Structure 1
Amino acid sequence: MGLLESLKTKVLTADGAMGTLLYSYGLDYCHEEMNVSKPEIIKKIHKEYIDAGADIIQTNTYGANAIKLARYGHESRVAQFNKAAIQLAKEAVSQGGQFILGSIGGIRGVRKTDLTLDEILIAIREQVELLIEGELDGLLLETYYDFEELTETIKMIRTLTDMPIVAQVSMHEPGVLQNGLSLNAALQELERLGADVVGVNCRLGPYHTIQAFEGVELPENSFMSAYPNASLLDIEEGRVIYESEVDYFARAAVELRDQGVRLIGGCCGTTPKHIKEVKNRLSKLQPVEKKEAKLQEAIQIREPEPRNLEPLHEKVKRERSIIVELDTPRHLEIAAFVEGAKTLYDEGADIIMMADNSLASPRISNIAMGSILKLQYGIRTMPHITCRDRNLIGLQSHLMGLNALELHDILAVTGDPTKVGDFPGATSVYDVSSMELISLIKQLNEGISFSGKTLRKKANFSVAGAFNPNVRVLDRAVSRLEKKIEHGADYFISQPVYSKEKIKEIAEATKHLSAPIYIGIMPLTSFRSAEFLHHEVPGIKLSDEVLERMKACEGDKAREAEEGVAIAKELLDTAAQHFNGIYLITPFLRYDMTVQLMQYIKLLDEQNKGVNVNV
């Protein structure tokens, strides 16, 4: 009798965690490599679960694909590890007749990685073909946070085989995926795509897993599975632990059966002791044929209040628009900063932009200064948000605060590494890349949190992406812009450019983009600062001509500043012909220099009325 035939009449017990036991043995390196280096331990764990009563075990192949194995330098050993795992599982069940599922783990989490979906599917296909060749009883797709990855994987597998597929999602919040889709809808979609068993594993403990299944209807043509963690995780002396009594876990298994689940195993923290007790509780129970799902009424997500000011990415498509950057102070005296911001805004800046601890050095919080400027002086402000300083919790909290303060204009950037700043030993977080951050911000605009939970109201952010055109191959930089547009970027703000030819090259290379660009111009204050920018600041390069002109003024502060403004004006002559959006970076709080440039832009616009430019 095959796996699916058994599930028609029985509630089956699966095995528990492999990694938990390997960690308990002090083995915390590549688990899949142990299929070859320590086969006796892997086989022993399989036997322990079988002796505990498991009807189903899974191969030790969760991460046995080229992408995950590359972390250990084992990407060329995919076939070796998978074949060894299959052999060990078959030897373990040779006398008991248990079913074997080939385990395939999801790759994307909240962070989608820099890999494309096509690259992921190529790696998974290699593993799938090996598991199919091994003539197992089915495939187990587990710990999939990214629903698109799971659905595309199922589609790919169904072109290769009709063997049973167990497809399991993972959730941050009970009953909802991280993209906001309900678990009920997700399982129905997996069934439609050809999964034979649909369910949940990992992340949530028994309590929340049961809660999630209460809102799930019984599938019409598939069965349901659940592999909860032993409990919510805890950290003890730097090690992840799970606190769960065996009896509690087994009682939860019975409640999962009451919700219509027919395949019940364990994920992180579970051991053969858990599975033995689960088997004892489930062995005399029949599958549930009918249930009344507690379908939740969809929570209405309110639309955001209309914005008082037009988004910049809309305005710049029609007319001249100027963003001015003014860094917040590195000390507690704010009077000069406030005075500068007021002057620049009165001079005609559409918005005052503030970096997020530029060059990884602490400054007064841009959300604090943005609030002061907005609430006390009516100045529109635009904070940067870096991926460096905040984890996902901090990022969402920060963004929710910005929306509450009606600071809706933001620039999402990666952030300079901590090694260049005041605290080189500080930790860089980088939970997500700037592209992923843009996507997550746009998810907030749909009223969905990073974890998939409803926010009850849509955020109202206009999101800019950073653009570094100072690279050897501009086409590659433009390709990154195209990807950022796919992730949701509304417009772009460039690093400062110091060459008329480069400005023209940028205009030509980006004219096909749907998102407008603000071209960056920053006046130089001295030859020393010019050399510093050119040689030490990532993303900024000066032309030989500019460096020579600044060097000719070296030592005369007034002449250096005058020459810096003159160079910037010449660049503006070209920039204004090709771009509606101008981004002026104020150096060292020298906003008097920026004011000169703003006045010059007004003069150019008066002279060039009626001349069309690129957006």
Structure 2
Amino acid sequence: MHKIEEELAKRILVIDGAMGTMIQRHKLEEEDYRGERFKDWHCDVKGNNDLLSITKPEVIIGIHLQYLEAGADIIETNTFSSTVIAQADYDMQAIAYEMNVASAQCARKAIEKYYQLHPEDTKPKFVAGAIGPLNKTLSLSPDVNNPGFRAVTFDEVVAAYTEQIKGLIEGGADTLLIETIFDTLNAKAAIYAIKQYYRNNPSNPPLGDEGGQEGLPIMISGTITDASGRTLSGQTLEAFYISVKHANPISIGLNCALGAQEMRGHIEELSSIAACYTSSYPNAGLPNAMGEYDEQPHETAHFIEEWANNGWVNIVGGCCGTTPDHIKHIAHGVRKIQPRPLPVLEAVL
């Protein structure tokens, strides 16, 4: 059993909040993103947040450390767009692998620094290798006049994710988090890439549990996009869960798109059907007219504390608009609440 599974059996774990929100607070300019190495890059790179793990690692490490100080048990790598497909927007496909290694190392360094500052804290902290949804989908056409058209192939998505997975593992991730899933077929490509990577690299530690699960534990988090209760590619929550449970994830959950108030019913439903641990890290409410998030930390924490008291969740945290203050309130709210117990499944004869 992996260490993170041992901890999940004991307590509710807290995952961090938004990386982009915190990067915006630094008010970085084009030259900050470029650094010395990319000062002559032929196109603008401001907004390529994953690049900062290479050019401004102290910023990323500092953000991770703030979340750890707030009470996060799991910090996500700064790799939401660290694939050759997403990096094509900046013509930086060639350094996608390096971004993943650097980002995982930033997270590891933040944990090391945290323990140096807090030697009294004996609870383990984990690095989740963040695998984002991509900016191209396998289920939807970008051309309204040609619904059968796809901008990318399944094999191309698998290849992109495989490179990302390799970088995250070699950089020191403890678990792989396929997150913000709005297209389940993209998620399936990521799952396939993980399984294939370990088949092709059987000597690459660590190995999994006694049940034959090989490699790092997999966490999966989908996105319900609106009041319909469906993903963007049209699946209900139950259909989404059934579509990915073959990956044998340690957790299944929801993040992004909705605030906690709007996500509540979906988390209750997921808790009733999931055979694994459940996770939720909602946005800080819904965005206002300016695209900003106004929900205060105590408000977000109030909703999540109720879910915990109802026995619905095992991992909680925040997504867009959330800050270390949100995570601090969430961590405080759930610290004494028992985690959702894994359901006892009846044997199929």
Give the structure-1-normalised TM-score: 0.45
SS in 2 for 1:242: coil
> What is the rounded CA distance, in whole Å, between the counterparts of 1:196 and 1:119 in structure 2?
27
Matched, 1:278 2:279: no
> What is the rounded CA distance, in whole Å, between the counterparts of 2:328 and 2:105 in structure 1?
24
Matched with 2:37 is none
What letter corresponds to residue 285 of structure 2 in structure 1? S
> What is the rounded CA distance, in whole Å, between the counterparts of 1:49 and 1:60 in structure 2?
13
- Per-residue CA shift, 1:575-596, capped at 9, x if unaligned? xxxxxxxxxxxxxxxxxxxxxx
> What is the rounded CA distance, in whole Å, between the counterparts of 1:156 and 1:219 in structure 2?
26
> What is the rounded CA distance, in whole Å, between the counterparts of 1:219 and 1:88 in structure 2?
36
SS in 2 for 1:202: strand
Distance change >3 Å, CA 220–CA 169, structure 1 → 2: closer
> What is the rounded CA distance, in whole Å, between the counterparts of 2:243 and 2:314 in structure 1?
19
Matched, 1:172 2:225: yes
Q: CA deviation at 1:73?
A: 1.9
Q: What is the CA RMSD across the aligned residues, in angstroms? A: 2.0
Distance change >3 Å, CA 193–CA 276, structure 1 → 2: same
Matched with 1:7 is 8
Alignment of structure 1 residues 384-399 onto 2, 5 Å: none
What letter corresponds to residue 88 of structure 1 in structure 2? C
Q: CA deviation at 1:5?
A: 1.4
> 2:129·2:176 contact (CA, 8 Å) conserved in 1?
yes
Q: Which sections of structure 2, spanning at least 5 residues, go unmatched? A: 29-45, 116-123, 143-149, 199-214, 344-349
> 2:97·2:167 contact (CA, 8 Å) conserved in 1?
yes
Matched with 1:42 is 60
> 2:15·2:74 contact (CA, 8 Å) conserved in 1?
yes
Larger radius of gyration: 1
Q: CA deviation at 1:51?
A: 0.4
SS in 1 for 2:235: coil
Matched, 1:243 2:294: yes
Matched with 1:74 is 92
Q: CA deviation at 1:32?
A: 0.8
- Per-residue CA shift, 1:148-185, capped at 9, x if unaligned? 11123212212324211111111213532234322123
Distance change >3 Å, CA 188–CA 8, structure 1 → 2: farther
SS in 2 for 1:233: coil
Alignment of structure 1 residues 123-142 onto 2, 5 Å: 123-142=160-179
Matched, 1:289 2:289: no
Alignment of structure 1 residues 333-412 onto 2, 5 Å: none
Distance change >3 Å, CA 268–CA 115, structure 1 → 2: same
Identity of aligned residues (%): 32
Q: CA deviation at 1:111?
A: 5.3
Q: Which sections of structure 1, spanning at least 5 residues, go unmatched? A: 292-615
Identify which range, 176-185 or 163-172, moves more after superposition: 176-185
SS in 1 for 2:257: coil
Distance change >3 Å, CA 281–CA 214, structure 1 → 2: same
Q: CA deviation at 1:221?
A: 4.1
- Per-residue CA shift, 1:239-289, capped at 9, x if unaligned? x31110111100111133225211111110000000000000011010123
What letter corresponds to residue 101 of structure 1 in structure 2? A
Matched, 1:227 2:281: yes
Matched with 1:158 is 195
> 2:17·2:327 contact (CA, 8 Å) conserved in 1?
yes
Q: CA deviation at 1:134?
A: 2.6
> 2:280·2:315 contact (CA, 8 Å) conserved in 1?
yes
Alignment of structure 1 residues 240-319 onto 2, 5 Å: 240-257=291-308, 258=310, 260-289=312-341
Matched, 1:99 2:131: no
> What is the rounded CA distance, in whole Å, between the counterparts of 2:342 and 2:157 in structure 1?
38
Matched with 1:576 is none
Give the structure-2-normalised TM-score: 0.77
Distance change >3 Å, CA 20–CA 167, structure 1 → 2: same
> 1:154·1:194 contact (CA, 8 Å) conserved in 2?
no
> What is the rounded CA distance, in whole Å, between the counterparts of 1:111 and 1:246 in structure 2?
38
Q: How many pairs were matched up?
A: 288
> What is the rounded CA distance, in whole Å, between the counterparts of 1:14 and 1:60 in structure 2?
14
> What is the rounded CA distance, in whole Å, between the counterparts of 1:51 and 1:287 in structure 2?
22
> What is the rounded CA distance, in whole Å, between the counterparts of 2:216 and 2:342 in structure 1?
27
> What is the rounded CA distance, in whole Å, between the counterparts of 2:313 and 2:154 in structure 1?
31
Distance change >3 Å, CA 25–CA 283, structure 1 → 2: same
- Per-residue CA shift, 1:307-362, capped at 9, x if unaligned? xxxxxxxxxxxxxxxxxxxxxxxxxxxxxxxxxxxxxxxxxxxxxxxxxxxxxxxx
What letter corresponds to residue 196 of structure 2 in structure 1? T
Matched, 1:146 2:147: no
Alignment of structure 1 residues 56-67 onto 2, 5 Å: 56-67=74-85
Distance change >3 Å, CA 204–CA 111, structure 1 → 2: farther
Q: CA deviation at 1:225?
A: 0.8
Q: CA deviation at 1:105?
A: 0.3
What letter corresponds to residue 96 of structure 2 in structure 1? V
> What is the rounded CA distance, in whole Å, between the counterparts of 1:39 and 1:62 in structure 2?
16
What letter corresponds to residue 185 of structure 1 in structure 2? A
